[in-house]
Structure 1
């Protein structure tokens, strides 16, 4: 059995700024870049991290002439440091909200094909109204984004899911329903057809999102329900790259009809038996920040229902 001594800070002198420095070094893998990010001279940043390491009784970083990386102690320290900084930021935001000012952070997630909301325009208007809120944006898969909202990593996320799936563990509001359309190259034989069905499409080579993702599942289920199989030879993670591959007539795709007009160099064809996608906005059920509340209000999203 291994027994480890607890880490004790005897004088309570650990500072939030020291934690910020540790996070910056961990994220940049460089004391120099971390100092630049934190707007301090490198010697000051190094001194504060060394002081923190003495207080903790453990080295947080391994330093060589070529790189910097976390030690086991540093990796253990990082999640708690992030929680402390998030809690401090949240506390300041709540105090500001109590006196009528919205500040803090707004971390937003979205899938690449969101069409129900013009998110760049919405974020521009929100920033103009609430300039003290730090906005960040992350693109990902619906299921991952929902998990991050539930865990508190993201405040709000915009998802697209098949009708058979509903987000769990988060507050949910349905934004829109949309059918998928076929996307083909301009010189493809289907480009001049008014409609196509899944059986005809099943003879084509496809590009789609990675297997297992929500955006892929809706198409897979539609073909399976029709008793059809298809050849998905290309798997990519962005709608733009899907369009680039389709534009070269390497493959065809199925995309949400509302998003298709944003694609260039391709043609769209209505699919008579296409599956339907639902777009949702989700947020944390129990811990909605003032910035998230203000953002949802700006979008006229009712937050009383889950």
Structure 2
């Protein structure tokens, strides 16, 4: 058994298709099939259940693939550590980011990182802050840019505060409040709202602010994509509370949207988070690009 067989098994488990697995591994299908069959013979176990249309892991296969992923990750880390010892950073960097990140210009950061470390393969993943923090703790992500309600902090990871931000009210042009210089939560509680999905940290920021005031509001539309939310608002279907640092540049020059400060509105803290346990050379290199010195 060798690492290449493990890679083939993981690829087949993830694609559930011999042709797609072979394409991912850059080999012909017959070669991949032969190596998988040889692996099963060597182990004396059936790892995959096959039919003319389907390929699925057996219980033995699921256990094997879980261990294979750990072995492959360890092998990749060994190669990265060896290269780092010679001053070369290589390997994989998995970066998580919330959709409303505004404290850093991520494309610009990645451009500088690429210029310094062209041999690192960067993988980007978007999601909600709590899921991204959990992925760091579990080793699926190396670093992430998060946003949480003021007073909350990611747990089980190293963090650095990047920015503090206030939410603003986003209304369509022509709305009754469009000419207001400022508003309060009580003044807008009766509006129909567009917001992020219930249960997410992005949604919690507004929910907690209204709850603290003893106010109840109607959230008629929930979405995970800011562009869709602003389009709903522009159509007059509702209003929303959004981080000013993010929505401000987005709405600049858009005649269909108006941003209004909210005196007692939600506040958000943006964080940089990374693993506190044995960060990879690629992670340490990204922290260096960001001007962050990890704790000793």
1:10 equivalent in structure 2: none
1:136 and 2:144 aligned? no
Q: In the alignment, which of 244, 259, 262 is matched to residue 271 of structure 1?
A: 262
The TM-score, its normalising length taken from structure 2, stands at 0.95
Q: CA RMSD in A?
A: 1.3
Write the distance in 1 (CA, Å) between the matches of 2:257 and 2:13.
Answer: 43
1:283 and 2:285 aligned? no
Write the distance in 2 (CA, Å) between the matches of 1:250 and 1:74.
Answer: 50
2:37 equivalent in structure 1: 50
Give unpaired runs (5+ residues) of structure 2: none
Q: How far does residue 120 in structure 1 lie from its aligned partner after superposition?
A: 1.5
Q: Deviations over 1:15-34 (max 9, x none)?
A: 11111111111222211011
Give unpaired runs (5+ residues) of structure 1: 1-13
Q: In the alignment, which of 148, 168, 171 is matched to residue 181 of structure 1?
A: 168
Q: In the alignment, which of 10, 22, 32 is matched to residue 9 of structure 2?
A: 22
1:250 equivalent in structure 2: 237
Q: How far does residue 250 in structure 1 lie from its aligned partner after superposition?
A: 1.0
1:166 and 2:153 aligned? yes
Q: In the alignment, which of 262, 270, 274 is matched to residue 250 of structure 2?
A: 262
Q: Which moved more, 1:279-288 or 1:235-244?
A: 235-244
Write the distance in 2 (CA, Å) between the matches of 1:296 and 1:95.
Answer: 20
Report how many residues are paired. 292
Write the distance in 1 (CA, Å) between the matches of 2:59 and 2:232.
Answer: 43
Q: How does 1:49-68 map to 2 (within 5 A)?
A: 49-68=36-55
Q: How far does residue 187 in structure 1 lie from its aligned partner after superposition?
A: 2.9
The TM-score, its normalising length taken from structure 1, stands at 0.92
1:111 and 2:98 aligned? yes
1:72 and 2:63 aligned? no
2:283 equivalent in structure 1: 292
Change beyond 3 A, Cα 1:60–1:232: same
